[in-house]
Amino acid sequence: MEREQHELYEYARRRLKQKKRLYFHFVVLFLASLFLFIATKIFELGISTTWYIWIITIWFFLFLLHFIKVFITDRFMNKNWERDQINRLVTLQQKKIEELTAQIKEDKP
C-alpha cells in the first residue's frame, strides 16, 4: 500500500472510530436518562424530584461538546488543514524574508 493510500486509510479508520464512540456515547446517554427518569418517577428516589434533570442536562451538554468535536472541529481542522496552514505561514515568512533581503540590498551603498 502506498503512503498516500495508507494515510487515507488511517484517516478513515480514525474518523470511523470517532463516530462509533459518539454513537456509543449517545446510546449510553439515552439509556442512562431513561433509567434515571424511571428510577425517580417509579421508585421515587431522592428528596428532590428534579435532580435527575440536572444530571441529564449536564451529560447532554457533554454529548454536544463531543458531537461538535467529531462532526465540526475534527472534520475541518484535521492533519491536512494543519499542513496547509503551516505551508501558508512558511510561505508568508519566506516572502517577508525575501522582501527584507531585497530592501537591505537596495539600502546598501
| pLDDT tens digits, 6-55 | 888 888 898 899 999 999 999 999 999 999 888 888 877 666 667 888 89
What gap in Å lies between CA 56 and CA 44, rounded to an integer? 17
In the structure, what pLDDT confidence band is assigned to residue 109 with cuts at 50, 70 and 90?
low
> In which residue are the cell numbers 467529531 written?
70
CA distances from 3 to 7, 9, 10 (A): 6, 10, 10
Are residues 62 and 96 in contact, defined by beta-carbon separation less than 8 angstroms? no
pLDDT at 45: 64
What gap in Å lies between CA 11 and CA 1, rounded to an integer? 14
- Maximum separation of any 2 CA atoms in the chain, in Å: 92
pTM above 0.75, yes or no: no
pLDDT at 47: 64
User: Domain coordinates of the chain in residue numbers?
Assistant: 3-77, 78-109
Other Cβ atoms less than 10 A from the Cβ of 52: the count is 20
- Tell me the residue type at 7: E
